[in-house]
Chains A and B, each alone.
Chain A
């Protein structure tokens, strides 16, 4: 390249003349290439050590931030769902309890009513029984009186008719025959 540059240097000493493209004036190549390489290396090192890591760091940071935000949002959502679930369970529990209380109260009221009814019934039955006993006693006594009355009446009638009193045994036998 050095020889080529030198030969071209001599041939294109007057660059303003139409000697083709200025890009092929090789005496300018070395300076440009060297300077370009130096700048390129500096820029490359800056990219490698400074700029790329900085931008990558912010990318990572952004990703972490977004992931964290999503994670916390998920967590909050899960918490909200859990709370909703808890509320639902509590509501269901409360409803069950209320229903139980209501049915308990109903059962208790029913039982009380039944008990009171039973007591009343027992009282009534007792009174009924007492009354029945009294009635039976009254009837029995009435019946007994009827026997006595019948015996006495029969004795009186017999005495009047026959003139002599009938014995008690005869009367009783006759009454038994009638009652039979």
Chain B
């Protein structure tokens, strides 16, 4: 097939800076790739949008301001309802993650390369979240952080098993965070590409005439599937960003309110 559905995830170098040796990563290709470009667009979009929203704020909001405030208060309320009073302090982190993932998802769907379909990117988000959880845990509770793995009210006999399960589940949190977003974006975009490929392939078949004309209904069906999937992917793009934010809040809540939350 001419249009390989996986090809859309291929990273291509737009500007190559050659190989350099980084302190942490060792020898690396330093280049400005399509992934970097998409990240930059997402970044510029967020900053531009928020600048427009917040530059001339009115007590009675206009349309743009209302949209910005809606997004803001959605995450703000989320943080406050899950974490409580301390949610306000963690809000910038959660909102940064949310808006960055949302922007990357949406521009990946509608405009350019999908950064959030790169495992490197989703893994970084997941690890960042868990790193923050661990940092806050140790900063707030010191070694009491390990109480996270010991739920209260568990019989002594079961305790070793429970602690093991809790520990493993904690280790798996960044993995699930990363894989959920990665998988959703990967799957959605592959499905879109496959159906779009069907449209072209069946159309080409129909162009040959004769029995190949049967390809036309198939192509039409595929096209409607692409439209439907695009709508679905728009929902998924938002939903995955939101789910990431919710889970970030839940994981942060575990350590912020350690011992009186469970």
| A→B interface (CB under 8 Å) | 1-2, 5-6, 15-16, 21-25, 27-37, 39-40, 42-44, 46-48, 50-52, 54-55, 57-59, 61-62, 65
Asked whether any CB of chain A lies closer than 8 Å to the CB of B218, the reply is: no
> Which residues of chain A are within 8 angstroms of B96 by Cβ–Cβ distance?
40, 43-44, 47
Q: How far is the CA of A61 from the CA of B54 in the complex (A)?
A: 14
Q: Are B100 and A28 in contact (CB under 8 A)?
A: no
Kindly provide the distance from the CB of B87 to the nearest chain A CB, expressed in whole angstroms: 12
The answer to whether A31 and B30 touch (CB under 8 A), given A23-B9, A50-B54, is yes
Q: Are A32 and B121 in contact (CB under 8 A)?
A: yes
- Total residues of chain B contacting the partner, CB 8 A: 49
Kindly provide the distance from the CB of A24 to the nearest chain B CB, expressed in whole angstroms: 7
> Which residues of chain B are within 8 angstroms of A28 by Cβ–Cβ distance?
11, 29, 33, 35, 120
Asked whether any CB of chain A lies closer than 8 Å to the CB of B31, the reply is: yes
- Contact residue among A51, A52, A55, A65 (Cβ-Cβ distance under 8 Å from B59): A65
How many A-B contacts if CB must be within 8 Å?
123
Asked whether any CB of chain A lies closer than 8 Å to the CB of B194, the reply is: no
Q: Are A2 and B26 in contact (CB under 8 A)?
A: yes
Q: Are B93 and A44 in contact (CB under 8 A)?
A: yes
Q: How far is the CA of A44 from the CA of B94 in the complex (A)?
A: 9
Q: How far is the CA of A23 from the CA of B128 in the complex (A)?
A: 19
Q: Are B57 and A54 in contact (CB under 8 A)?
A: yes
Asked whether any CB of chain A lies closer than 8 Å to the CB of B119, the reply is: yes
Q: Are A35 and B92 in contact (CB under 8 A)?
A: no
